[in-house]
Structure 1
Amino acid sequence: MTADRDPIDPKNLIREAYRIEGIGDAECRSILVDWALSLSGPDPRAAIAALLERHADAPSDHPMTLVLREGLSEAAAPRRRGGRAARVAD
């Protein structure tokens, strides 16, 4: 490992994703998960915003740009599914 390691994209995964011709949504999602696991902080949204700014010159419809934008959105609150209340009518 070198001391010049990029704190926002430590493994250069996002940079390389933008260079892959014909990359799709599924590959970009997989890359994003691997990228997020390489970060040290618990909330990657600040780093995602920085990556979007860094790659602002990429086409706006690039799959990696779309996946990064989704990563900035708030996750929906988890809902309880199933259980007795779901099976029994009031």
Structure 2
Amino acid sequence: MKGEHESDRKGLIREAYRIEGITAAECRSIFLDWALALPEELDQAVALQALLELYGTGAPEHPMTAVLRQGLASAGQPRRRGGWRGRREG
């Protein structure tokens, strides 16, 4: 395991915090890669909270901290299903 937490097995989030001068856009791209690689058995909101505590506490102004906070804010929001399932009643 490359990362310091089970939800960051590839070490993507850890490395983002180590890149000097990283931009918010680059952090969003890394976050997307991280989210796609997150194992199904791990709850995204729980993983994001753990990563924020691990990395974000020491770097509150880092762009990845802002991206993780945005991800956490939207992790619990219900999403509309597309296609016929979204239009189906009950």
TM-score normalised over the length of structure 1: 0.72
What does residue 61 of structure 1 align with? 61
Give the aligned CA root-mean-square deviation in angstroms. Answer: 2.4
**Partners of 1:14 and 1:65 in 2: how far apart?**
10
Identity score, percent: 53
Unaligned runs of at least 5 residues, structure 2: 81-90
Aligned residues, how many?
76
What does residue 26 of structure 2 align with? 27
The 8 Å contact of residues 4 and 11 in structure 2, kept in 1 or not, is answered as no
The 8 Å contact of residues 22 and 63 in structure 2, kept in 1 or not, is answered as yes
Pick which of 35-44 and 24-33 moved more: 35-44
More helix by share: 2
**Letter of the 1:49 counterpart:** Q
Secondary structure in 1 aligned to 2:10?
A: coil
**Letter of the 1:71 counterpart:** G
TM-score normalised over the length of structure 2: 0.72
What does residue 88 of structure 1 align with? none
